Every structure is written in structure tokens, then in C-alpha cells.
Amino acid sequence: NAGVTQTPKFQVLKTGQSMTLQCAQDMNHNSMYWYRQDPGMGLRLIYYSASEGTTDKGEVPNGYNVSRLNKREFSLRLESAAPSQTSVYFCASSPPWLAENSPLHFGNGTRLTVT
Amino acid sequence: KQEVTQIPAALSVPEGENLVLNCSFTDSAIYNLQWFRQDPGKGLTSLLLIQSSQREQTSGRLNASLDKSSGRSTLYIAASQPGDSATYLCAVGMDSSYKLIFGSGTRLLVRP
């Protein structure tokens, strides 16, 4: 049971390059999320997808695009990377409604450095 | 705008000590509050979830309390162990989704 799988684990980009962060979950969850975590700060929501075929902006969406490819996969794309996007990116998934026995499940993160 | 604060940013205690981690939030109209644990290089693991109508939740040696009116939550860890060393984050939900607002965390070190 893999849970939430993110690839790659590490990535170094030069300013202006593009890349896609991949995320897949095997828990049949409806909702998926992309968060970023910066030193000394909590996680901030970039985009989320409440269900297959829908996506919505979170707190810090600028510079990113997302695709909910199917129920399992939710990708995050940086079209033109900037040093301010250096961060650790976490994907998460959940059932449609938050409940005591259905916690949010996180992947192990992608560490991205933009030089 | 909701803001979540965790103080202190880091805490070091000897093994066996009971300890309290603090979380405060500015908007008391929350839907729920969650506590997470994060180990180095790993994602977050959910520890406890408190609905806005609840005052506390318990799981093993962990007890989380919620006081909406004062905008505070605490995570109590009894008889701490070196394995409890990690960063603990609290997060507030303003509705039934998982669009959470996180604090910056408290990094806990339990010394043998």
C-alpha cells in the first residue's frame, strides 16, 4: 500500500526552465492537494482538486498550473521556474469530506532548487 | 485573514518529561483544528483532529485541547520519549474541506 507517491524526490532547475511534479495516490480518494513548505513557514496551499475534472486555486497559485489527469493523479507544473519557487512541495489526498477517521495523507515531498 | 502561530519554534526536553506545545489562531470561526507530526525528510502524519464543537481529543500519550473563544489549542505529550522528536504542526480548517492554514511548527527534541 504505497499511499501518496511523489516524483521526483529532488530536482535542481535553472531560472526559466520548466518541469512537472508528479503525484499519484492509490487510496481511491476524491480530493488532492499541492502544498509548498518554506523554511520557518507553515505549508501553504497552491492548488487543490476536489474531484476528478475540477481544480481550484489556493493561497499561492501564481507561477503554477495543475492537471487532474484522472482520479489517481494530480500534477503540478512550473512553466518558467524562478528562484522564489525554491521550496519543498507536498502532494496530499483525502476523501471528499474531512472526518475524524479519514485524515489527510501526505507524500514525502519533492525538494526543488531553482538557481 | 486567518493566521496560525506556534510558539516556541524549538523545544528541547529530557526524556520522561510531560510537555505542552502551543498553537494560536486569530479568527475563532474555525471548522476544525488538526495536529500533525513531520519527521525530517518526510511528509506530514495526522495525529489528532478536533472538530469545532469538541474541546479535546486523545490518542495514547497525546491529548489535544481546543479553546475557540481564546483562539488557542495545546498538544500535551505525556512521558516524552526520544522517538517523539520531530516537528509538530497545527493547522486550522475554516470549512469541511482540507484547505488548511498551517502554523510554522515547533521542532521538538527529546534528549535520552
Kindly state the cell numbers that stand for A102.
479519514
| Whether the Cβ atoms of residue A1 and residue A13 lie closer than 8 Å to each other | no
Q: Shortest Cα distance from B46 to chain A (angstroms)?
A: 6
Q: How far is B72 from B28, CA to CA, in rounded Å?
A: 9
Residues of chain B contacting residue A104, judged by C-beta atoms under 8 Å apart: 34, 44, 46, 98, 100
Question: What is the mean pLDDT of each successive set of 10 residues along chain A, which is 115 residues long?
Answer: 89 97 94 92 92 92 95 96 97 75 83 97
| Whether the Cβ atoms of residue B31 and residue B52 lie closer than 8 Å to each other | yes
Mean pLDDT confidence for B22-38: 94
In a mutagenesis test of the B interface, which of A7, A25, A43 is the best target, namely the one with the most B β-carbons within 10 Å?
A: A43
Kindly state the cell numbers that stand for A27.
487510496
Q: Which of B32, B91, B104 is nearest residue A41 as measured by Cβ atoms?
A: B104
- Does B7 score more than 70 pLDDT? yes
Size of interface A-B (CB pairs under 8 A): 64
Mean pLDDT confidence for B62-84: 97
Q: Which residue has the higher pLDDT, B22 or B100?
A: B22
Mean pLDDT confidence for B86-109: 91
Mean pLDDT confidence for B66-88: 97
Cβ-based neighbours of B31, under 8 Å, separated by 6 or more:
A98, B51, B52, B93, B94, B95, B96
Q: How far is B72 from B97, CA to CA, in rounded Å?
A: 21
> Which chain A residues touch B if contact means CB-CB below 8 Å?
4, 31, 33, 40-45, 48, 50, 58, 90, 92, 94, 97-98, 100, 103-109
| Whether the Cβ atoms of residue B68 and residue B28 lie closer than 8 Å to each other | yes
Q: How far is B36 from B4, CA to CA, in rounded Å?
A: 14
The residue among B15, B60, B62 whose CA lies nearest residue B36 is: B62
Residues of chain B contacting residue A108, judged by C-beta atoms under 8 Å apart: 41-43
Q: Do B44 and A90 touch (CB under 8 A)?
A: yes
SS (H, E, C) chain A: CCCEEEECCEEEECCCCCEEEEEEECCCCCEEEEEEECCCCCEEEEEEECCCCCCEECCCCCCEEEEECCCCEEEEEECCCCHHHCEEEEEEEECCCCECCECCEECCCEEEEEC
CA separation, residue A38 to residues A29, A101, B1, B78, B107 (Å): 26, 29, 20, 30, 15
pLDDT for position A102: 62
